[in-house]
């Protein structure tokens, strides 16, 4: 500020607090835990429902199928199953943050995969051209959606419902009625059918943990040094420990020999997993540490306030739908690799329901403004555990639909109740 600086002249009555106590309060883990409990009481459940869901469902399916559920082979399958759901949900988190919805995300993943598969099969293009074509297809569809929603002002629910129908026609046109385009290209197939060598996997795991620890500790150090608000060191270390343990356990499971016959060896991390981890890191960064991410949260929280703050709300909307549909393309490629083919039904059925369910179960609000990219991973795991477990139990298809739909409704109920609770919280 220049000469226009406002100077303090009000004399406060003696004994008044000097303000910001919590920011410079004692470095107490107890206080941080109490703060967390208050937050949950106030309606912000964070990752709690998803983590509980993962634990409860794992125990449940282990009890029902002790020989098959917790084997390295099935857990690998489960993670590969979770990958396309999570990737799709990561993009949807941004759309949901705005308070919008993308009902076409699933079929967009199908269209993109179809474009890619057809280019490989008919034109014999190399893998990177096929991938690039899928990503660009997704991006263009997303930008169009975003323009219709943001610039023209059609509700996102209507635009994407129309696209949901229309794009299924496009996939059908590309693939042909009753057709199936197999994916034989080794790199794309390799996303889910090739594995990082075990040593390489452990190196990757170590890099992820060390990187996370370094970022967290450095941030804590800077905040402390400059007298800014920071979490107690104990909490920061606990967070790092949780990430380390989870990473080591998953790497260990994926590094165990999971071949059914003793004659062959089958071990290592499927390439799709590092893809998910890298995108998780990048998008978390975008959401939390960039101006774009901040503006996404602002638009979702109060779009009029964002507009008055000079934020171009239309531009944010267009970019978010572009991002979401590009992530749908990534998801479509991984799903195509997993099934080794693309059909006219790819991305249809329960694809979208799973992804929206994943984001919401993970803790992203349907009302906008609240959510994180990691929600897609946690919720994606919950959904994959349900799908995988029900598969092992060989429940009828009808029950599978009813249960999965019920879980989504439950998550949405928790979200709505949390929102009401937050609104009713004492001011």
Residues of this chain that interact with another protein (CB under 8 A) are: 1-10, 12, 16-23, 42, 222-223, 226, 228-229, 289-291, 294-295, 297-298, 300-302, 304-311, 369-370, 422, 425, 427
Q: Collapse the DSSP code of 192 into the 3-class scheme (helix H, G, I; strand E, B; otherwise coil) and give the result.
A: helix
Considering only CA atoms, which of 344, 271, 322, 349 is closest in space to residue 118?
A: 344
Q: Considering beta carbons, is residue 230 or 251 the nearer one to another protein?
A: 230
Comparison of 43 and 389: residue with beta carbon closer to another protein = 43
Distance CA 139, CA 146 (A): 10
Distance between CA atoms of residues 415 and 50, nearest Å: 12
Sign of CA dihedral 117, 121, 124, 126: positive
Burial class (CB in 10 A: 0-12, 13-18, 19+), 304: exposed
Q: How many angstroms separate the Cα of 358 from the Cα of each of 63, 268, 293, 374?
A: 24, 26, 20, 10
Which of these, 240, 242, 202, 203, lies nearest to 218 by C-alpha position? Answer: 240
CB closer to another protein out of 109 and 230: 230
- Minimum distance between the CB of residue 148 and another protein, rounded to whole angstroms? 23
The conformational region for residue 158 under phi > 0 = left, psi -120 to 50 = alpha, else beta, is: alpha
Least CB distance from residue 4 to another protein, whole Å?
5
E strand or H helix that includes residue 195: strand 195-196
- In angstroms, what is the minimal distance from the CB of 149 to another protein? 20
Hey, is 301 helix, strand or coil? helix
Which is closer to another protein, CB of 295 or CB of 374? 295
Q: How far is the CB of 336 from another protein (least distance, A)?
A: 32
Return the number of the residue (107 or 298) whose C-beta is nearest another protein.
298
- Least distance to another protein from the beta carbon of 319, Å? 15
Give min distance, CB of 425 to another protein, in A: 7
């Amino acid at each position: 500020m220049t000469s226009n600086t406002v100077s303090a002249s009000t004399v406060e009555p003696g004994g008044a607090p000097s303000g910001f106590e919590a920011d410079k309060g004692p470095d107490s883990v107890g206080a941080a835990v109490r703060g967390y409990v208050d937050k949950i009481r106030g309606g912000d459940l964070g990752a709690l429902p998803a983590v509980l869901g993962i634990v409860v469902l794992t125990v449940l399916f282990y009890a029902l199928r002790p020989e098959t559920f917790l084997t390295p082979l099935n857990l690998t399958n489960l993670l590969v199953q979770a990958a396309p759901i999570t990737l799709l949900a990561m993009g949807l988190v941004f759309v949901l943050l705005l308070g919008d919805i993308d009902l076409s995300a699933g079929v967009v993943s199908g269209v993109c995969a179809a474009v890619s598969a057809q280019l490989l099969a008919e034109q014999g293009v190399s893998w990177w051209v096929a991938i690039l074509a899928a990503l660009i297809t997704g991006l263009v569809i997303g930008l169009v959606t975003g323009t219709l929603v943001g610039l023209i002002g059609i509700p996102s629910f209507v635009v994407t419902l129309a696209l949901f129908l229309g794009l299924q026609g496009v996939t059908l046109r590309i693939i042909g009625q009753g057709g199936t385009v197999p994916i034989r290209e080794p790199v794309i197939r390799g996303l889910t059918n090739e594995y990082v060598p075990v040593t390489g996997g452990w190196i990757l795991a170590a890099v992820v943990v060390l990187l996370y620890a370094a970022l967290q500790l450095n941030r804590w150090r800077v905040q402390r040094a400059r007298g800014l608000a920071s979490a107690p060191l104990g909490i920061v270390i606990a967070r790092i420990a949780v990430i380390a343990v989870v990473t080591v356990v998953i790497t260990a499971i994926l590094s165990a020999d999971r071949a059914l016959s003793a004659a062959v060896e089958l071990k290592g991390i499927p390439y799709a997993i590092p893809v998910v981890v890298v995108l998780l890191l990048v998008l978390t960064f975008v959401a939390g540490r960039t101006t774009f991410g901040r503006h996404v949260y602002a638009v979702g929280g109060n779009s009029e306030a964002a507009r008055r703050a000079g934020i171009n709300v239309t531009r944010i909307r267009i970019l978010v739908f572009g991002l979401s549909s590009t992530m749908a393309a990534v998801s479509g490629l991984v799903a195509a690799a997993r099934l080794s083919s693309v059909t006219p039904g790819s991305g249809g059925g329960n694809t979208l329901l799973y992804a929206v369910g994943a984001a919401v179960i993970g803790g992203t609000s349907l009302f906008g403004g609240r959510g994180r990219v990691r929600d897609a991973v946690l919720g994606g795991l919950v959904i994959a555990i349900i799908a995988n477990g029900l598969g092992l139990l060989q429940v009828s298809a009808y029950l599978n639909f009813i249960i999965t739909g019920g879980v989504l409704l439950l998550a949405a109920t928790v979200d709505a109740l949390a929102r009401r609770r937050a609104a009713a919280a004492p001011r």
